[in-house]
Amino acid sequence: MAFNDKFRADIKRFKNKTNNKLDQYARAVVLEIDRRIVMKSPVDSGRFRANWNVGSGYPDTNTTLDTDPSGSGAISKAQRELQSININGQIIYVTNSLPYSYKLEYQGWSMQAPQGMVRVTLAELSGILRSAAYEVKL
């Protein structure tokens, strides 16, 4: 019996460690995707950058009149949101619900980001995944 108990405890520790690493990995990936999208977002007043949201289970469609020309506030907000999310098995959304978001992403409405922000960031996904794996030592 003692051997089985030790074996079960070892398996449980391995499972917990693995789940913790996967959680860290997912958070690092989402945060880097969010950071890149925010920093690629065009800046006029900074309102567009301030309206990037991270949510789980469903898109966060909230908007604000706040401005954030540097993008640091939006990135900090994403970090806080990610800390409160049980990321295991959840779909994580990075959204911007301002009415002109579609035009900026798909219609070249901005000279600062004519190719959009999300599509350009998704083209960089393999590098983001590799960097996050290295960061959390997967």
User: pLDDT, tens digit, for every residue of 21-76?
Assistant: 999 999 999 999 999 999 999 999 999 999 999 999 999 999 999 999 999 999 99
Which range of residues forms the domain containing residue 87? 2-135
Flag whether pLDDT at 20 surpasses 90: no
Q: Specify whether the CB–CB gap between 30 and 55 falls below 8 A.
A: no
Which phi and psi angles does 56 have, rounded to 5°?
-125, 145
Number of domains observed in the structure of the chain:
1
User: pLDDT, tens digit, for every residue of 91-107?
Assistant: 999 999 999 999 999 99
